[in-house]
Amino acid sequence: MHVAVVWFKRDLRLVDHPPLQQALDYCRRYDCPLVGLYALEHDYWQLPDTSQRQWAFIYESLQALNQHWRQLGGAGLCFISTDLAEQLEKWQQQGHQLALFSHQETGNFWTYQRDIKVENKCRQLNVHWQQSPQFGVLRPNPDRDQWAEHWQVFMQQALTSAPKHLLANANACLLPGSHPIGDLPADIRPNHASHDHWPCPGRQLGGREQALALWQSFIDQRGRFYRSSISSPLTAEQACSRLSPYLAMGCISVRELVHAVRWQKQQCTDKYFKRSLTAFESRLWWHCHFIQKLEDQPDMEWQALHPAYRQLRSDINSDWQQAWRQGRTGWPLVDACMRYLHHHGWLNFRMRAMLMSIISYPLWQPWQPAAQFLAAQFVDYEPGIHYPQVQMQAGTTGINIPRIYNPTLQAQKLDPKGEFIRRWLPELRSVSNAWIHQPWLMPASQQRQSGVILGQHYPEPLVDFAQASRRAKAHITQLRDAEFMATARDIGHKHGSRKRSRRANKKSTHSQQLSLF
């Protein structure tokens, strides 16, 4: 018996979902059942870049997706708790002639290997597996020079609407070994629960309706100050779109947003607001640009892009790493941002970059453990953005200048009155504005007066920032010889950005530091 299976991965929606449309066409052609399937992959949730906060968001999104599926007449989605490749073989042995439909996924290396395994099994079993691109990402990508044009063509394609109704035989548990999506466990804490020490009460809720409501509030009011307000942690929480987790888990598609923002720009008469919408659209372009990097080089997850940097930082200081993770470095803005991240599972891009810069330069720690730790904290963890950005901020790409964020200067600029710092570091609430950014400079008398004794109530900085940063720069500079530069040019040719299109104005070429955080 023919069965069409829609394999939902990081595409938890029914709108702009070509695999669903392809599966429905297959069902009509063969008069066969449709199954909506999610694979609960327990091995994946043991990885150091995964966490309960991410699963909670996915769980909520799946429940919302299942409700939408039922509203369209389907019996409900189902899930399996076993290896999909092995399950495909069992189903075929039981007499099911399967056709598998899904989006392409540019995930971490585990999902990359998982997809190779599924592809090999489909080829062995003669199972039809049709994969559709989800972003403006080319697979394979023979030439970066053509990528920008490809992105424009992909984004201009018409959206596919959600079906008006599903087939009556869209049965949730037609296939043996599958279970109703309602039976999914709400708690799937990894065995290595070190990343789940911090609850995440400020986490965004999953589901498409949440995404649509955020988009509406963004174009109604919040987005007007997007351009000018996304750097400071004081204003970014409201000014940023906050759509990143919904894009990461596919509750809404990039193409939907590109269509929506372009339509909104046509309607907008407020020039200031329109410029912010243009800036937002540019982030959607960069979103896919960075995912293409990981698509082209999956080992970017753990291996420095430039070979000269692969042995750059080898000594691990566990005490410093732990202090950084806990928000106890002695640099107030750094610590406030880390504690904010623990609470919300989100942080604006500038502050993410600062966290990575601090662990990489003045603390001179390997970037890989820090990358995994931050990934687990981010509810909006998108591997294709995360790992290229981590390497950029850690200075291991060879094609970007080192970005060493001075935490004191950043605090003075972005949190001049220390409001954000005091909110997230209650131990410093009594410190005056004169000392809030550099409490380690307070005289002993001032410490007693404010009730904050350095080393007792709040730590002194782990290192002297200026001296440690100079050492870091020296380590990096000494590697940049002629051979280094030749390799860097090759890396730039493979991964560097290009103009978005032949029509693009030179002013539209933004720094690669941008992303949709």
Choose among 233, 383, 375, 376: nearest CA to 301: 383
List where CATH 1.25.40.80 sits in the chain.
Answer: 135-161+207-296
pLDDT digits (tens, 9 = 90+) for 185-202: 999 875 555 455 678 999
Q: What is the per-residue pLDDT for 198?
A: 77
Task: For residue 503, name the pLDDT band (cuts at 50, 70, 90).
Answer: very low
Q: What is the per-residue pLDDT for 222?
A: 97
Q: What is the per-residue pLDDT for 172?
A: 55
Q: What is the per-residue pLDDT for 191?
A: 55
Buried b (16+ CB within 10 A) or exposed e, 332-348: bbbbbbbbbbbebbbbb
Give the ranges where 32-102 is alpha helix by DSSP (H).
52-71, 84-93
Q: What is the Cα–Cα distance from 218 to 238, expressed in whole angstroms?
A: 9
Average pLDDT value for the chain? 92
Which structure tokens are listed for 513? 């530091």
* CATH code that applies to domain 135-161+207-296: 1.25.40.80
Residue-level length of the chain:
517
pLDDT at 332 over 80: yes
Q: What is the per-residue pLDDT for 426?
A: 97
Q: What phi and psi values does residue 276 have, to the nearest 5 degrees?
A: -65, -40
% of the chain beyond a pLDDT of 90: 84
Q: What is the Cα–Cα distance from 429 to 414, expressed in whole angstroms?
A: 18
Choose among 314, 309, 394, 316: nearest CA to 360: 394
pLDDT at 168 over 90: no
Q: What is the per-residue pLDDT for 501?
A: 42
pLDDT digits (tens, 9 = 90+) for 43-52: 999 999 999 9
2-132: which CATH topology? Rossmann fold (3.40.50)
- When pLDDT is averaged across residues 155-178 and rounded to a whole number, the result is 82
- When pLDDT is averaged across residues 132-151 and rounded to a whole number, the result is 91
pLDDT at 513 over 50: no
Q: What is the per-residue pLDDT for 56?
A: 97
Q: What is the largest CA-CA distance in the chain?
A: 83
Choose among 276, 269, 168: nearest CA to 228: 276
Q: What is the Cα–Cα distance from 488 to 256, expressed in whole angstroms?
A: 36
Report the run of H or E that residue 97 belongs to, with start and end: strand 97-103
CA angle (138 as vertex; 135, 144 as ends), nearest 5: 120
Q: What is the per-residue pLDDT for 507?
A: 40
Sheet holding 179-180, edge to edge: 128-132, 97-103, 2-8, 34-39, 78-80, 179-180
Give the residue, 133 or 498, on which the prediction is more confident.
133
pLDDT at 442 over 80: yes
pLDDT at 517 over 60: no
Which structure tokens are listed for 29? 């052609």
Report the run of H or E that residue 8 belongs to, with start and end: strand 2-8
pLDDT at 286 over 90: yes
pLDDT digits (tens, 9 = 90+) for 461-501: 999 999 999 999 999 988 888 898 999 899 998 998 865 44
Q: What is the per-residue pLDDT for 189?
A: 73
List where CATH 1.10.579.10 sits in the chain.
Answer: 307-491
pLDDT digits (tens, 9 = 90+) for 364-375: 999 999 999 999
- When pLDDT is averaged across residues 191-216 and rounded to a whole number, the result is 85
pLDDT digits (tens, 9 = 90+) for 11-35: 999 999 999 999 999 999 999 999 9
* CATH code that applies to domain 307-491: 1.10.579.10
pLDDT at 512 over 50: no
Angle formed by the axes of helices 383-394 and 349-360, nearest 10°: 50
Q: What is the pTM of this model?
A: 0.94
Task: For residue 251, name the pLDDT band (cuts at 50, 70, 90).
Answer: very high
Q: What is the per-residue pLDDT for 499?
A: 53
